[in-house]
Amino acid sequence: MSAETARAGTVAATVVAATTPGSKLARRAGLAGKKLSSPWASLAAIIIAVVWTTPTVGLLVTSFRPEADIRTDGWWNVLAHPTFTLDNYQQAMFGNQTNFVGYFVNSLVITLPAVVIPISIALLAAYAFAWIDFRGRSLLFVAVFALQIVPIQVTLIPLLSQYVDWGIAGSFWTVWLSHTMFALPLAIFLLHNFMKDIPPALIEAARVDGAGHVQIFFRVLLPLLVPAIASFAIFQFLWVWNDLLVALTFAGGRPNVAPLTVRIAEMVGSRGSDWYLLSAGAFISMVVPVIVFLSLQRYFVRGLLAGSVKG
Amino acid sequence: MDGVSKYFKWLFGVIRDFLLKADTTGHKLVLMVVVIALFILVMGAILWLVDRSSRVPRWVVITGFLGPAVLALTFGLVYPGLRTIYSSLFNRNGSDYVGFDNYMRAFTEPQFQIVLRNTAVWVILVPVASTVIGLIYAVLVDRTRFERIAKTLVFMPMAISMVGASVIWKFVYEYRPTDRPQTGLLNQLLVWLGLDSRQFLLDQPQNTFFLIIVMVWIQTGFAMTVLSASIKAIPDDIIEAARLDGLSGVGMFRYITVPSIRPALVVVLTTIAMGTLKVFDIVRTMTGGNFSTSVVANEFYTQSFRYNDKGLGAALAVVLFVLVIPLVVYNIRQMRMVEEIR
């Protein structure tokens, strides 16, 4: 999940939001009628679905097979001699050389602050851009918006030497700070768009009642923004949890900080044929993002729906 | 006096160790909670100061709200960006000014020619393949009984890391000699067809295509989701009118669906192209950029951090930057159009 897809994803969601309300869908469903009557169409859809899922299923099955079986034949033979075990997971999680539990903790410790911090900073900035008038506001906003084009690669070497100068190299702070800074342009841009959609009358009414910026921010805006915040939080969570480049640059080779992605990428290089470890390790790293994605997928779209209806 | 300063030194050391040297799981988790709490506290303090009375000067209010963001962006993006452009004009350790030598090398040396060629192949093939497959799939499953689950299956690769995806596909490409039992699915298919097994990731130049497949596998779900949303947004009357005119199936797809979602198609293509230009994880995990599979984003990492050639690394990063600009500009323009249509 990249910043680009996050931005476009929000556009897609707003398109959905704009079209779904009412009984339109039900009517359309009736209209559809013929759609999949062609067996060729069904076949094509099934082929794509199978091709897309088989690789994952293969590795998942493998992760539960005994090490010896994995070495002797392919996972598609599993029904010929079905033996399953949790040894691979046990070994991957607690084994001296792999210790995925430790890296799992690192991933968690990296991700949560790297989601909370940029969203808070971006909320404040987006509020100022949307509801406080000052000279040079649009210029500054365009500048922030334009910073979205800066590829992370351009910033890595100077940042690294800066962190070394400050004496924080190799600590969690480098990763937190970097993810925060990289997320800000998109976060400010998206949250600003949502804030702009809130009717000015609401803000005015609060202002007349004597509410200051802080009260307006917390009492009026924040509750309305929950869906928008949640949707960005999901994107940011997946992005940070799945990131390799930032973590490798700032925490590579440091078992006390490096997240799962770094460790797995390392193991593919050093123990590339130990599939009993790699398969289990890969799924240990995937389980959290997949759960987040599956459980919040609905909430995500519904939240955006609510946001656009209110706006 | 001496005792006091000693005490402060000790206290400072303790705090420093707590913040910077989290070694145990417990320590890490506590640190995480403390950092989040500390951060919220600081933000709260800023807000409280700003809002204490209505007579706080405006510039203080504005600084309070915008200050943290502007500071972070200046320090984290603007300054490093300029710094990288600057050091791309210097040699490997930054001691001598070399003008545009690094750029000359990046565009003329044979090994980098391969890198540029690969990048071009990636940026053309991944968006086109993902979009075409995503569009076809979106149309095929649209308004069927299984739409929800069918879409989730194809979208799932978006949720997992590219490292995880690389592991999954590396296993599909796993090589064993032809006469041995196969463990990689793709080679097993070849053997079943009576062919010899192959080193998919080693044999040049087709190995790049096998890496590209992984990215297509990931991005198709994104294309499908966005395009499916805009297919559903096509107004009913257009579809009804077309149906009355006798259009259906392929005709409907060709003359109604595709033209109606053209702006969304462009957004999807350019978005995926931008992501692909910066692809690093897949190349790094599957081949490490060896066997002539490197791309610009990976070569940047290799030159900067493995060969310690900071000048050349910086130049490659700048090349990446310059390549991505036209894509972003075009992408944002199209996205405006999509939003206006809404």
How much is the mean pLDDT over chain B? 89
Question: Final residue of a domain: which of B58, B87, B116?
Answer: B87
Nearest CA in chain A to B73: A181
> pLDDT at position B87, please?
92
> pLDDT at position A113, please?
96
Helix axes B25-50, A172-196, angle to 10 degrees: 40
Contacts of B90 in chain A (CB under 8 A): none
Tally of CB atoms within 10 A around B110: 6
How much is the mean pLDDT over chain A? 83
In a domain, A8, yes or no: yes
Residue A301 lies in domain: 3-15+98-310
Query: In the A/B pair of chains, how many CB contacts fall below 8 A?
Result: 375
pLDDT in tens, B103-132: 999 999 999 999 999 999 999 999 999 999
* Rounded-to-integer distance, Cα B138 and Cα B127, Å: 16
Q: In 3D, which of A293, A50, A52 has the Cα closest to residue B154?
A: A52
Given B68, B167, B174, which is nearest A282 (Cβ)?
B167
How many Cα atoms sit within 13 Å of A18 on the Cβ side? 17
Q: Do B83 and A158 touch (CB under 8 A)?
A: yes
CATH number of domain containing A139: 1.10.3720.10
pLDDT at B341 over 70: no
Q: Is A135 exposed, middle or buried (0-12, 13-18, 19+ CB in 10 A)?
A: exposed
Let me know whether B7 and B124 are in one domain. no
Let me know whether B110 and B33 are in one domain. no
* Rounded-to-integer distance, Cα A103 and Cα A261, Å: 9
Let me know whether B270 and B236 are in one domain. yes
Q: Note which residues in 312-331 of chain B have CB less than 8 A from chain A.
A: 313-314, 316-318, 320-321, 324-325, 328, 331
pLDDT in tens, B286-303: 999 999 999 999 999 999
In a domain, A24, yes or no: no
pLDDT at A308 over 80: no
Rounded to an integer, the average pLDDT of A108-133 is: 92
In a domain, B96, yes or no: no
Contacts of B312 in chain A (CB under 8 A): none
In a domain, B197, yes or no: yes
Q: How confident is the model at residue A310 (pLDDT cuts 50, 70, 90)?
A: very low
In a domain, A52, yes or no: no
In a domain, B192, yes or no: yes
In a domain, A268, yes or no: yes
Contacts of B338 in chain A (CB under 8 A): 11, 15
Q: How confident is the model at residue A204 (pLDDT cuts 50, 70, 90)?
A: confident
Higher pLDDT, A36 or A66: A66
Q: How confident is the model at residue A186 (pLDDT cuts 50, 70, 90)?
A: confident
* CB B279 within 8 Å of CB B103: no
Contacts of A32 in chain B (CB under 8 A): 142-143
Let me know whether B112 and B75 are in one domain. no
pLDDT at B339 over 90: no
Given A12, A244, A275, which is nearest B229 (Cβ)?
A12
Specify the number of domains making up chain A. 1
CA distances from A260 to A4, A226, A266, A281, B100 (A): 23, 30, 10, 8, 39
Let me know whether B72 and B109 are in one domain. no
In a domain, B62, yes or no: yes
Residue with tokens 């070495």: A71
Contacts of A256 in chain B (CB under 8 A): 22-23
Let me know whether B155 and B77 are in one domain. no
Q: In 3D, which of A19, A21, A5 has the Cα closest to residue A190?
A: A5
Query: What does the H/E/C string look like for A77-106?
Result: HCCCCCCCCCHHHHHHHHCCCCCHHHHHHH
Q: How confident is the model at residue A18 (pLDDT cuts 50, 70, 90)?
A: very low
Given A24, A52, A157, which is nearest B217 (Cβ)?
A52
pLDDT at B337 over 90: no
Q: How confident is the model at residue A17 (pLDDT cuts 50, 70, 90)?
A: very low
| % residues pLDDT > 90 (chain B) | 53
Q: Do A20 and B79 touch (CB under 8 A)?
A: no
pLDDT at A35 over 80: no
pLDDT in tens, B144-177: 888 889 988 998 898 899 999 999 999 999 999 9
* Rounded-to-integer distance, Cα A260 and Cα B236, Å: 48
pTM: 0.89
pLDDT at B252 over 90: no
Let me know whether B41 and B150 are in one domain. no
Let me know whether B56 and B200 are in one domain. no
Question: Final residue of a domain: which of B56, B87, B118?
Answer: B87
Q: How confident is the model at residue A300 (pLDDT cuts 50, 70, 90)?
A: low
DSSP at A136: T
Specify the number of domains making up chain B. 2
* Residue at A298: amino acid letter: R
How many Cα atoms sit within 13 Å of A237 on the Cβ side? 18
Residue B80 lies in domain: 2-87
Higher pLDDT, A33 or B218: B218
CA distances from A160 to A168, B79, B86 (A): 10, 13, 16
| % residues pLDDT > 70 (chain A) | 84
* Rounded-to-integer distance, Cα A157 and Cα A154, Å: 8
Question: Final residue of a domain: which of B29, B56, B87?
Answer: B87
* Rounded-to-integer distance, Cα A17 and Cα A284, Å: 34
* Rounded-to-integer distance, Cα B146 and Cα A35, Å: 13
> pLDDT at position B31, please?
93
3-state secondary structure at position B190: helix
Let me know whether B70 and B130 are in one domain. no
Q: Do A171 and B21 touch (CB under 8 A)?
A: yes
pLDDT at A161 over 60: yes
> pLDDT at position A3, please?
53
Distance to chain A for B4, nearest Cα, Å:
25
pLDDT at B311 over 90: yes
In a domain, A140, yes or no: yes
> pLDDT at position A6, please?
54
Let me know whether B80 and B124 are in one domain. no
CA distances from B218 to A131, B134, B165, B288 (A): 39, 11, 8, 19
| % residues pLDDT > 90 (chain A) | 45
Given B62, B84, B142, which is nearest A157 (Cβ)?
B84
Contacts of B31 in chain A (CB under 8 A): 109, 172
Let me know whether B317 and B176 are in one domain. yes
Distance to chain B for A293, nearest Cα, Å:
6
Let me know whether B129 and B81 are in one domain. no
* Rounded-to-integer distance, Cα B202 and Cα A21, Å: 52
Q: How confident is the model at residue B338 (pLDDT cuts 50, 70, 90)?
A: low
